Amino acid sequence: MNDIDKSTELDTVPCEVCLKEIPRSHAKTSEVDDYVAYFCGIDCYDVWQKENKEKE
């Protein structure tokens, strides 16, 4: 029998900018309108924020 230990599986999300898969527990978040955007770090968050300001 092949038992999979679900506790070792990581719940990952893609970074909104670079699309790198990161553990949800380590992701930076920003709640935007009707969704949550995830970022692998402050650099990607800064890029995303700058791009969204330019769109407005």
Task: Tell me which residues of the chain have a pLDDT lower than 50.
Answer: 7
Using CA atoms, how far apart are residues 6 and 17, in angstroms rounded to an integer?
28
Predicted local confidence at residue 21, as pLDDT: 95
Predicted local confidence at residue 49, as pLDDT: 93
20: nearest Cα among 45, 49, 54, 52: 45
How do the domains of the chain map onto residue ranges? Answer: 8-55
Predicted local confidence at residue 2, as pLDDT: 55
